Amino acid sequence: MSIKAVEYFLLNHWLWGMMWGIYHIPVNILLMMLLLKVIARFKIVPSILLAFFSKVFSVIAYALTILVLVYVVKLEFVFPKEIQSYKPINPLLASVYLGIIYAFFQTVFFWIVSRFYSINVGFMAMIALVSNFISAILVYKFVSFT
């Protein structure tokens, strides 16, 4: 796999996230807050703060990554000239990929927070992955992609 393929993958899913995946953000915050409260047994205020700020961090970090790709690497989105050659991605697959990308950046956030507070980064990474996966399924199920 080439670097350009990874760059286009990130750019395409960022575009997807800004169009249809925007619903993923509030759903994921609520789901992560519930998982932190119920499964991790956090108090309500830390679970709200961790869920909100991890999602904000992941969205900003992803956007900054795309800005670096666009302005430094000069990556650009080029729509195919022939519409017949364009093959759209399955909305469920795009939502799941977006959730995995957000979970990666949330794990980075939890790793940074673990330097200051005592949290288990591996457990928090699993919470992030599960909440993003469930969010992707819910967004796919209840949002019309037409």
pLDDT digits (tens, 9 = 90+) for 120-138: 999 999 999 999 999 999 9
Give exposure, 31-48, as e/b (b: 16+ Cβ within 10 Å).
Answer: bbbebbbeebebeeeebb
Is 84 inside a domain boundary?
no
Number of domains in the chain: 1
Is 9 inside a domain boundary?
yes
Please tell me the predicted confidence (pLDDT) of residue 132.
95
Residue 107 has pLDDT above 60, yes or no: yes
pLDDT tens-digit map of 41-100: 999 999 999 999 999 999 999 999 988 888 887 776 666 566 555 566 788 888 899 999
Is 80 inside a domain boundary?
no
Is 82 inside a domain boundary?
no
Residue range(s) defining the domain that contains residue 32: 3-74+90-142
Q: Report the alpha-carbon distance of residue 7 to residue 70 in Å, rounded.
A: 9
Is 104 inside a domain boundary?
yes
Is 10 inside a domain boundary?
yes
Is 101 inside a domain boundary?
yes
Please tell me the predicted confidence (pLDDT) of residue 83.
58
Is 81 inside a domain boundary?
no
Own/partner long-range contacts of 38-44 (Cβ < 8 Å, ≥24 apart): 39/127, 40/123, 40/124, 40/127
Separate counts of helices (H) and strands (E) for the chain: 5, 0
C-alpha pair distances (Å), 139 with each of 24, 25, 57, 94, 105: 6, 10, 20, 11, 20
pLDDT tens-digit map of 6-47: 777 787 778 777 877 788 899 999 999 999 999 999 999 999
One-letter amino acid identity for 144? Answer: S
Q: Report the alpha-carbon distance of residue 134 to residue 140 in Å, rounded.
A: 10
Closest of 57, 80, 76, 56 to residue 66, by C-alpha: 76
Please tell me the predicted confidence (pLDDT) of residue 73.
77
Please tell me the predicted confidence (pLDDT) of residue 66.
86
Q: Report the alpha-carbon distance of residue 84 to residue 82 in Å, rounded.
A: 5
| Residue given tokens 């830390």 in the structure block | 46
